Structure 1
Amino acid sequence: MGKEIWRKRLVYLRDQWCAYPAPEALPRTRIFWIVTGLITLAVICFSAFYILYMGGRHVAFQTNAEDFGIMDQSIWNTAHGNLLHDTICNIINDTNCASPDGYVRFAIHFEPILFPISLFYYIWSDPRILFVIQTIIVALGAYPAYWLARLRLRNEWLAGAFALLYLIYPAQLQATTSDFHAVTLTASLLLFMLYFMYTRQTLWLFVFALLAMACKEDIPLVVLTFGLWSVIFQRRWKSGLALALLGLVWFVVATKVIMPHFSPTGQPLLISRYGGNAGGGSLVKDVLLHPVSFLRTYVFEYHHLAYIHAVLAPAGYIPRPHGGGIFYLPMLAPWVLVMAVPSLAINLLSSNPQQYSGLFHYNAEVVPIIIFSTIEALVVVRWLARHALAALAVRGVALARTSSDIGRFLPRVLTWVLVVGVIFSALRSDYYFHGQLPFSIGFQWPQTTPHMDLARHFMDMIPDDASVSAQTKLVPHLSHRTSIYMFPYAADPKYLNGRPADRLAEYVLLDVTGDVYPYFEAQQYTSEVKTVLASGNYGILAAQDGYMLLKRGLPAPRILPSSGNSQPSDPTSLLFDLPASFCSNIYVSPQEVMNSLQVDFKQPGGGHMDLAGFEVGASSPFSRTNGYGSLTTYWRVEQPSKQPLQVVTLLKGSNGQEYIASMDMPELAWCPTQSWKAGSIVRLATRTFNLQKSGIPNGLAQMSIALLPQAQTSSTIMDVQARLPLQVLHAPRTVTANQGTHTLQLMPITIVD
């Protein structure tokens, strides 16, 4: 008798706490169809908005060679009979450049889902079709989120809130708006898996398992954990073990057989992110021999903890008092959250900081598990509330009389409060942390400019079958060809591993005012471009408005005598005889000048030009951690300067010290001040800058500029005596000159974290 009682108690605990028997079906009432209709409307709005947004970003040259150009070229080549062939890689700071002849995509990632996707190119052979596919599939994940929450919480309106949570979850939006990646599709596919696993629909479970695993080589590890979870918590031995075995076999075959087979090195090309060619053996050794040091390095280190917070915080969190850490709502269901361990580990252990930044597409497969664990956390809260009330009821007759009403009412209110809190937490994260919702800080609808429209003119000059090395933002518009490279690959002979110069790209297309990736400093990029020009391998076919189209075999541009030695140690000092139209982008009409003023800078050796206006592209308050800014200045040229000058953007902090915000005005590297036309107005714009490494304290700061002879070191720039004296002749009251530091203070900005 005693054994029978204990068996019943264990069965009760299993059913009530952390085990999942077959769910009891719910009738499809009118409320169900109303909520389903609202979710369908949300899915349609989500899809329409982000398809248009991402399509607009592509047209506005806001997509990248890595990874949109890579994905588009691989899929386009597949549709044209060249199996996932790719030539785009990062020669500067990555390991995916194996050969100028290119490689098969499987050498980097195993994504067979790209085969059926390539069929859509027969319908519309345009890179934007990838955004349509990705956005619609991701949006459909709202339905399994709703169905799963409905069965667990037994309430349609609460369940509908989780469909909304999925659609606005920051990690999902980051993935959806980070170009196109096959793994982003798993945000939806894995949610379908969880739903079919919970409802014990085995056939559909395996269908979506196959689709999810086809998106990336590490997803089988997630499927493996799903299978083990089903064995432990659902007692589904056959299907659970079959799922786990399928995931294990797929992972081993993909990473140990298929990817090495297609890799020119015999190893997956990105294996160095996890301990080099040893296949991550050094990480395993660290775990076994130095576990405490391992945890400090890969989990408790500041940036890794910030990554965990960025991923989990939108689902709700409570900071512990006195700096004792943070408790995240999904942690109330650790038996569910544990399924995210493989994906989190892959990101935390990587040497690529982007993977643990909380941005981009690296967390798409984590989102479904966070949604499920948050649902279960509410189930746990409601269960605890009911049992706590029941325990209190036995302590008094008065409470016992009302415990029935309280027992029904209080858990529901508590659940709704938590759901509202979670939605608010997700929206708050979207607002502050690189959000991709229309109201988020820094969100802008992509806009085209005449400068962007001009790019098409240069692209039309390149034959469809020609090989091209182009800037990162230009590559996705040229990737429908067999050989397309990201500059400087295939443009500079030193990156050809000793191969002859005739293996260089036939054309090089650059925008010297554009994105400098894969370089992180504009000076490095400028040096490389000028090195290519000085090499003699290319001549200028066309140049205008900052664009430069080079063709192999044409006469190289002449190096101007003012450059000094024709072979200097620093190529950035070289000046070339470029077409006059190349610098046409710097000249504007008087009507285009913003915030008109007149500030005279005294120039050595003659020359006369005034600051005629400015425009600050930064909000106040300005975040030190994730804020971005820019500064545009307008100069009225009476007489060009006799020597090249440099404009420096400074911030004078609340502590009275000066901090460099930006020294990067790309036009000055190609159109120096001594070449400006007399009687013209010149517009100079900084590249977008941030203050993450500036060290400036919080508080009120003054954005200023200084003008000085062109210098290469920050120590010279911070030398007040090197700066040109200035005099304000006419300016708004907020603009003042600091004669002590020879700076012009433009506007105050409040600096915050």
Structure 2
Amino acid sequence: MTTTSALPPRAARGAAARASGVRLSSRRARTVLLTLLCFAACLALGVQQWTSLQLGGFDLGIFDQGVRGYAHFGLPVSTLKSVHHEFPPGFSLLGDHFSPVLALMAPLYWLWDDPRMLLVGQAALFAAGVPLVRRIATRAFADADQRVRTRVRDVAALVYGLGWPLLISSRSGFHEVGFAVPLFLLLFERAGARRWGGAAVAALLLCATKEDIGLAVGAYGAVLLWRERGGADRRAKLLGWALLLGGPLSSAVEISYLIPAMGGAPGYYWNYGQLGADGGEALRHVLGDPWLLAESAFSSPLKPMLLGWLVLTTAALPLRSGTALVALPLLAERIFSDNPNHWSIARHYDAFLWPILVTAAIEALGVLWSRGRRAQVRRLGATAAVLSLAASAALGLYHLAVPYEWQPKATTAALTRAAALIPDGATVEADNQIAPRLTNRTKVVLADGTPRGQEYVVLRYTQRAFPFQRDPEQAEYRALLLAHGYQELFDQDGVTLLHRTGTAPVPGTHLPGPGSTPYEEVIPPDVGHNFFLG
């Protein structure tokens, strides 16, 4: 058999170049394939939820209205959010969560003005993380042979791209986490490559993704400083200090000044009543009695279960890397929260953690490999991959194979038929589940039991739907409207469509004004207590 070393020098170099080109082509093909797999899985789950009418005005309709505002070169205004929660005129979604990065989704609406473009965009953003994960894995296993690096790259990308947090988030519609996931990976990858300018840009964009992410950026600054403590790279240390100080400072400025300036209410999302009425009081209470933190962290069995689930599905690998510290501020927000929604794995919150956990796991395995602990790496890596992919199959991929999950239920299907009778440009109070089907052609607010004086009202009245608190409330609201100037145009499967024909206001009619006081949603006691289903 002829070998490269037996060839003349020029021929040997050519053969080596051709072999290298084949490997590079194969590597790129694998990257493309795994990227497309992630995109397809995430988009399919989002489309399934859209098709079965499981995506509501909260939150897909809210983001749709906001991004449409950007697409028309205005502020991200959402009547679904502002009217229901009694925000005064002038409120934009920047006063809810400070996420100006969402403006980058606006060009999608120039191609197709439809809420489903958000599902496409989020799936693409999640998929954009696949090449970054592969680069992180390549660098972590730089001293391994080509065959090992190829296997690690492929498995890491598969575990990330089909990660259960991404699949669950895709089933939950669209959120700011779509940007946070690839930006965290970009930060880690650029820092790993010692490309400090790129890392700084990623950190800035992360701070523009959501007001609390600056705390995680600050934590990564501390990790960088620790890792560079004995080095001579001044730019690395400068970036570490900039992130450590600038990240939390950006969060403080956004929460204290920018959000209120955009119509938001200071302390609106303070969900830590067990610790204190506000941040200052909570700090004083904790300093005086640190045991309060433990009491809050174990106030519900779901909180330690959440932590256990995250550790289990990653085989505890992230705990071996300093990068895992970046997740602490985001986890602490949820563990100490009084809001049951924050304790469940059935929502999008774990997707914020996923790029951190995956990167930390890869780094941990890379360190073990460099120390010669090859068997341990294979065992731990295989265990983590199997556990993570098993969770993905059960919590995400399984749903794609269930035919009835692609179909709306009778009541939600009736909502579609009723909504088709509403003319374009009308003003509408809409059931949460049908609201996203109306945002691109009507002026829609959420049907919440407070009369808003709109031309049309479409809602379910035989079973409770968000945001109603009791089963009879919707039927009572329907009766109130029918008794005061509304005529019923549609009544099927527990769904009604009412058209306003009278001119006298319905008792209790109200729209937020300059003096309105925003309020946060009251969560019914039976919500958020199922670990998997929320």
Normalising by the smaller structure, the TM-score range is 0.7 to 0.9
Partner in structure 1 of residue 306 of structure 2: 307
Whether the 8 Å contact between 2:318 and 2:357 is mirrored in structure 1 is yes
Partner in structure 1 of residue 355 of structure 2: 368
Q: Partner amino acid for 1:205?
A: A
TM-score, length of structure 1 as denominator length: 0.58
Mapping of residues 265-414 of structure 1, within 5 Å: 265=265, 267-272=266-271, 278-299=277-298, 301-316=300-315, 328-333=316-321, 335-382=322-369, 386=372, 411-414=373-376
2:203 paired with 1:209: yes
SS at match of 1:84: coil
Deviation at 1:447, TM superposition (A): 2.1
Deviation at 1:173, TM superposition (A): 1.9
Q: Which residue, 418, 421, 426 being the options, matches 1:461?
A: 421
Deviation at 1:174, TM superposition (A): 1.7
Q: Which residue, 422, 434, 438 being the options, matches 2:398?
A: 438
Partner in structure 2 of residue 156 of structure 1: 150
Deviation at 1:136, TM superposition (A): 0.8
SS at match of 1:484: strand
Cα 1:332–1:32 shift into 2, 3 Å: farther
Cα distance in 1, alignment partners of residues 400 and 387 from structure 2: 13
Whether the 8 Å contact between 2:460 and 2:474 is mirrored in structure 1 is no
Q: Which residue, 523, 538, 551 being the options, matches 2:486?
A: 538
Partner in structure 1 of residue 64 of structure 2: 72
Cα distance in 1, alignment partners of residues 307 and 153 from structure 2: 26
Deviation at 1:454, TM superposition (A): 5.3
SS at match of 1:473: coil
Partner in structure 2 of residue 98 of structure 1: 86
Q: Partner amino acid for 1:291?
A: P
Q: Which residue, 220, 230, 234 being the options, matches 2:228?
A: 234
2:81 paired with 1:132: no
Cα 1:201–1:452 shift into 2, 3 Å: same
Whether the 8 Å contact between 1:53 and 1:446 is mirrored in structure 2 is no
SS at match of 1:430: helix
Whether the 8 Å contact between 2:430 and 2:458 is mirrored in structure 1 is yes
Deviation at 1:490, TM superposition (A): 4.3
Partner in structure 2 of residue 261 of structure 1: 261
Deviation at 1:515, TM superposition (A): 6.1
Deviation at 1:239, TM superposition (A): 2.0
Partner in structure 2 of residue 424 of structure 1: 386
Cα distance in 2, alignment partners of residues 203 and 443 from structure 1: 48
SS at match of 1:134: helix
Could you give the per-residue CA deviations for residues 249-268 of structure 1, whole angstroms, max 9, x where no partner exists? 32222111110112354x15
Partner in structure 2 of residue 550 of structure 1: 498
Aligned pairs, how many?
480
SS at match of 2:100: coil
Whether the 8 Å contact between 2:132 and 2:185 is mirrored in structure 1 is yes
Cα distance in 2, alignment partners of residues 382 and 483 from structure 1: 58
- The answer for unaligned runs of 5 or more in structure 2 is 1-18, 143-148, 230-235, 505-528
Deviation at 1:354, TM superposition (A): 1.1
Partner in structure 2 of residue 324 of structure 1: none
Partner in structure 1 of residue 455 of structure 2: 506
Deviation at 1:421, TM superposition (A): 0.9
Q: Partner amino acid for 2:320?
A: L
Between Structure 1 and Structure 2, the one with more helix by share is 2
Q: Partner amino acid for 2:342?
A: Q
- The answer for unaligned runs of 5 or more in structure 1 is 1-26, 317-327, 387-410, 492-502, 557-623, 629-691, 693-753
Deviation at 1:119, TM superposition (A): 2.6
Whether the 8 Å contact between 1:311 and 1:358 is mirrored in structure 2 is no
Deviation at 1:210, TM superposition (A): 2.5
Could you give the per-residue CA deviations for residues 556-608 of structure 1, whole angstroms, max 9, x where no partner exists? 9xxxxxxxxxxxxxxxxxxxxxxxxxxxxxxxxxxxxxxxxxxxxxxxxxxxx
Q: Partner amino acid for 1:308?
A: L
Deviation at 1:80, TM superposition (A): 3.1
SS at match of 2:69: helix
Partner in structure 2 of residue 687 of structure 1: none
TM-score, length of structure 2 as denominator length: 0.81
Whether the 8 Å contact between 1:176 and 1:184 is mirrored in structure 2 is no
Cα distance in 2, alignment partners of residues 454 and 441 from structure 1: 25
Cα 1:457–1:430 shift into 2, 3 Å: closer
Deviation at 1:315, TM superposition (A): 0.7
Cα 1:129–1:274 shift into 2, 3 Å: farther
Deviation at 1:417, TM superposition (A): 2.1
Whether the 8 Å contact between 1:275 and 1:282 is mirrored in structure 2 is no
Deviation at 1:461, TM superposition (A): 3.3
SS at match of 1:110: coil
SS at match of 1:551: strand
2:434 paired with 1:474: yes
Q: Partner amino acid for 1:238?
A: L
Partner in structure 2 of residue 251 of structure 1: 251
Partner in structure 2 of residue 572 of structure 1: none
Partner in structure 1 of residue 173 of structure 2: 179
Q: Partner amino acid for 1:414?
A: Q
Cα distance in 2, alignment partners of residues 627 and 200 from structure 1: 39
SS at match of 1:315: coil
Could you give the per-residue CA deviations for residues 649-690 of structure 1, whole angstroms, max 9, x where no partner exists? xxxxxxxxxxxxxxxxxxxxxxxxxxxxxxxxxxxxxxxxxx
Cα distance in 2, alignment partners of residues 627 and 292 from structure 1: 29
Whether the 8 Å contact between 1:87 and 1:102 is mirrored in structure 2 is no
Whether the 8 Å contact between 1:77 and 1:482 is mirrored in structure 2 is no
Partner in structure 2 of residue 516 of structure 1: 465
SS at match of 1:271: coil
Could you give the per-residue CA deviations for residues 431-464 of structure 1, whole angstroms, max 9, x where no partner exists? 44xx011378979642257876654443243343
Partner in structure 2 of residue 497 of structure 1: none
Of the structure 1 ranges 412-421 and 185-194, higher mean CA displacement relative to structure 2 is found in 412-421
Whether the 8 Å contact between 1:135 and 1:176 is mirrored in structure 2 is yes
